[in-house]
Structure 1
């Protein structure tokens, strides 16, 4: 396999990660079923790492100390080549640090480390943001993995849904021009959200301050369990009719519609003091559903 890719796994799962964006490119079970969206004309990515923003800023501009910096949707990490820190049969670790190019868009010192691992049939992604600089480090970070819809083992895209334990309705926000706009309550059936392409006609479903840290993506014959820690927000997204569903743990969301101020003061931004780090993690476990 070329140096920019690494494949690893156990008897249950095999994952492939690219140095470009530290991005997951494949997730196959022992039977050969592919659980990860394999990119395509509807959306050319698989599972990008979102950093140093999630979503958009007004006019794609980051304002800091009287200067305007161009920073486009979801930040630049997904388009940068990471350095390998470790590669072995059960996982890998990669690192991205600030340089002259990143500081043009985002004038802060940082390191971003991503660790992928397979264990006992589950895949985990741990992201650590560190501040090696002399001043505060403001950032947002998130995962954006896209999973197959229909899931492997399901006969069709019909009958899929998400089970949110203990939740009666989703307190969602919608996007307008890529920015967070109006609130919307999405009712559930005993915690279950039936999936329909029409759900995404108004773009992503943004779930700020989401009260749970796990879910099950279900279909007749298949199930994907997901859990996360460190991420207070969540997003769901697909393109109507496209065969994928993104399950997105976030720390921060797109900027609120009508807000246009200093990035350090932006709602939802996490600020790290010099010498400090913060770790975020999500995990998925594919399997079969009895229904």
Structure 2
């Protein structure tokens, strides 16, 4: 499948994009060191799926709209569909998904999802633009789901980095409680104490034995991932108010997932317009969602 990937390059980074799902498959530095998942099939073969038009799981994989019931799998359909290439240059590309017969069976709205990637020296800029081409307000959510290398390939042990020394450092203190996944992939009713100390999260594999850590009221819109004192990734996500952090316990990646949306809470059975995290986009309007990944020096 590698021959199908789109290649972008700057002086500091290289990126590979799969048109299936408009998914970022690889991000490497100037020395060709991989900054993303090894996609080991023993754990998870995903790389960075786009979550649209829902984030997370629906109760019984169904939602209700105006008295009708529709079926949709976890995280929506965008990640499973081919995007058309709209534009490509050496350092940028734009891909597009539009409503079709398959999407309307699950989601009865006319939409356009444009996904733009641009390399600007040591920064990968990603912008998803959702446009409502329907005649009524369109309920939706959007999220990013990139899996970054854990460990990153800098310093430390024989694999390149010291796993135990990796930290997530938020731009602001995050003292508030978090959410955890309950039965059937839904959001548990009760919040739980945060594992963040001040601005810092020291992830361990054991943290993810019960699935993702979820912030539904995040204060930060930027964080650092890696080992303090080594090159790290700065991840900026303006306008994205929620965050999931996840891995299959023991894997060689950590998913750092800015979201505008969330899974159904346990027991939710209302119209999708009333689902927590749902956005309503007026007809003919667009909304953009940004995520930037920058390789920063110590």
Tell me the TM-score range normalised by the shorter chain: over 0.9
Matches within 5 A, 1:47-196: 47-155=48-156, 156-176=162-182, 177-181=184-188, 182-196=190-204
CA contact (8 A) 2:175 2:198 kept: no
1:216 aligns with 2:221: no
Tell me what 2:214 maps to.
206
Tell me what 1:5 maps to.
5
Q: What's the secondary structure of 1:180's corresponding residue?
A: coil
CA contact (8 A) 2:221 2:239 kept: no
Matches within 5 A, 1:249-288: 249-288=258-297
The answer to which of 2-11 and 218-227 deviates more is: 2-11
> 1:154 & 1:104 partners in 2: Cα distance?
50
Q: What's the secondary structure of 2:31's corresponding residue?
A: coil
CA contact (8 A) 1:168 1:187 kept: no
Q: What's the secondary structure of 2:102's corresponding residue?
A: helix
Tell me what 1:37 maps to.
37
- Residue 229 of structure 1, CA deviation: 1.4
CA contact (8 A) 1:23 1:49 kept: yes
| 1:2-39 Cα shifts (integer Å, max 9, x gaps) | 77421011110000111100000110100111001131
1:248 aligns with 2:279: no
Q: What's the secondary structure of 1:169's corresponding residue?
A: coil
CA contact (8 A) 1:116 1:124 kept: yes
> 1:73 & 1:253 partners in 2: Cα distance?
11
Q: How many residues align?
A: 289
In angstroms, what is the RMSD of aligned CA positions? 1.5
The answer to which of 176-185 and 115-124 deviates more is: 176-185
> 2:79 & 2:257 partners in 1: Cα distance?
14
Tell me what 2:159 maps to.
none
Structure 2 unmatched ranges of 5 or more: 157-161
Structure 1 unmatched ranges of 5 or more: none
Assess, with a 3 A threshold, how the Cα gap between structure 1 residues 193 and 68 changes in structure 2: closer, same or farther.
same
TM-score by length of 2: 0.93
CA contact (8 A) 2:38 2:253 kept: no
Q: What's the secondary structure of 2:193's corresponding residue?
A: strand
- Residue 65 of structure 1, CA deviation: 2.3
> 1:21 & 1:9 partners in 2: Cα distance?
20
The structure with the greater share of residues assigned to strand is 1
> 2:279 & 2:65 partners in 1: Cα distance?
15
CA contact (8 A) 2:51 2:75 kept: yes
The answer to which of 137-146 and 174-183 deviates more is: 174-183
> 1:70 & 1:4 partners in 2: Cα distance?
30
Pick one of 233, 238, 241 that aligns with 1:232: 241
Q: What's the secondary structure of 1:104's corresponding residue?
A: helix
